[in-house]
Structure 1
Amino acid sequence: MATPEFVLALREKVGTSPLWLCGVTAVVIKDGDVLLVRRADNGAWTPVTGLVDPGEHPAVAAAREVLEEAAVAADCTRLARVGVTEMVTYDNGDQTQYVDLTFRLEWRSGDPHPADGENTEARWFSPDALPAMSDDMAARIAAALPQRGETLF
């Protein structure tokens, strides 16, 4: 997964010190099924995730990430959850913590497939037959499944 240029520029200034970044989780729904991707870096099944670019609206980032990673066009319909990840320390020593905005998106078009090298698989799953995943990712999906509802914090 390529590191965005704006993060590389920040890293030139702060080294490996902790960065606070904004990320999105895109839970895409089609006929009740959930789009998941299998990450190339660790093999985990997750919804599409990614970083919000500087100046980008988070809902736009969520839809962009889905198109870039899984070749699916989808529309954001609601903010489902706001969360904060644990501190992540990468192999090179960089430390990052993310505020995660989980969105529910409705499928518009496209057949999912790994589109940018960040994932090895992309496909639809019934919510009652999801593959094994972290409790945090399962909570993000659960928050986004209802078509309407309050945002969870």
Structure 2
Amino acid sequence: MSAPDFIRTLREKIGHDPLWLPAVTAVVLRDSTDDSPWAVPEVLLVKRADNGAWTPVTGICEPGENPDATAVREVKEETGLDVRMDALLGVGAMSPVVHANGDQATYMSIALRLSVIGDDAPVVGDEENVEAGWFSVARMPVTNPQFRMMVADAAAQRKHPSGFTPRTGFHKRN
């Protein structure tokens, strides 16, 4: 997996020490392809090359890059799809990560709901993922509870936008 140039430069100076990094989680939804009256939206997911986990598209913000631009760029790079930002879902720290090369990081993720502009057939666009596809929100293979919560929030916000309050932290609401 390729790290942005600014991360490689930082790592030359600090080694594997923990980094606190701004990132996005791009939750892309579309209407269900199921005609049932109980159909729920579908979510775009990628299967990560590094750990085999299914997740929404994620990515690190480049210095000076706004989160919506990061989300649009990352979805295009990873799946070939053109998207637009529809809503802010929340902002919060993800669980700390130790990458395969020993690099430690914690990501402050800005979760955004997006929708596809035009063709919605995803492809694997780079080496970060091995598969990309659409899944029913009710039957998605995502196991990380933080990502599951973001997808649930995206579906809730899409259905009832005026009643939705973005999260501050990806933990259960009290």
Q: Deviation of residue 41 (structure 1)?
A: 1.2
Q: Deviation of residue 136 (structure 1)?
A: 1.5
Residue 137 of structure 1 is matched in structure 2 by 147
Give the conservation status (yes or no) of the 8 Å contact 1:81–1:144.
no
Q: Return closer, same or farther for 1:17/1:35 CA change in 2, 3 Å cut-off.
A: same
The separation in 2 between residues aligned to 1:35 and 1:83, in whole angstroms, is 21
Residue 92 of structure 1 is matched in structure 2 by 101
Residue 165 of structure 2 is matched in structure 1 by 150
Q: Deviation of residue 121 (structure 1)?
A: 1.1
Q: Deviation of residue 132 (structure 1)?
A: 4.3
Q: Deviation of residue 144 (structure 1)?
A: 1.6
Q: Deviation of residue 101 (structure 1)?
A: 0.6
- Ranges in structure 2 where 5+ consecutive residues have no aligned partner: 32-40, 169-174
Q: Return closer, same or farther for 1:86/1:128 CA change in 2, 3 Å cut-off.
A: closer
The separation in 1 between residues aligned to 2:45 and 2:8, in whole angstroms, is 28
Matching residue within 18, 42, 51 for 1:33: 42
The separation in 1 between residues aligned to 2:166 and 2:61, in whole angstroms, is 19
Residue 62 of structure 1 is matched in structure 2 by 71
The separation in 2 between residues aligned to 1:91 and 1:45, in whole angstroms, is 17
Structure 2 counterpart of 1:64, one-letter code: R
Q: Deviation of residue 80 (structure 1)?
A: 0.1
CA RMSD of aligned residues (A): 1.2
Runs of 4+ in 1 over 2 A off after TM superposition: 90-93
Larger Rg: 2
TM-score, normalised relative to structure 1:
0.94
Give the conservation status (yes or no) of the 8 Å contact 2:87–2:112.
yes
Matching residue within 65, 83, 86 for 1:77: 86
Q: Return closer, same or farther for 1:27/1:17 CA change in 2, 3 Å cut-off.
A: same
The separation in 2 between residues aligned to 1:91 and 1:21, in whole angstroms, is 17
Q: Percent identity?
A: 44
Residue 46 of structure 1 is matched in structure 2 by 55
Q: Deviation of residue 23 (structure 1)?
A: 0.8
SS in 1 for 2:167: coil
Q: Figure out how many residues of one structure are paired with residues of the other and give that number.
A: 153
Matching residue within 115, 125, 128 for 1:115: 125
Choose 89-98 or 47-56, whichever is displaced more.
Answer: 89-98
Higher strand share: 1
Residue 22 of structure 2 is matched in structure 1 by 22
Q: Deviation of residue 151 (structure 1)?
A: 0.7
Q: Return closer, same or farther for 1:53/1:15 CA change in 2, 3 Å cut-off.
A: same
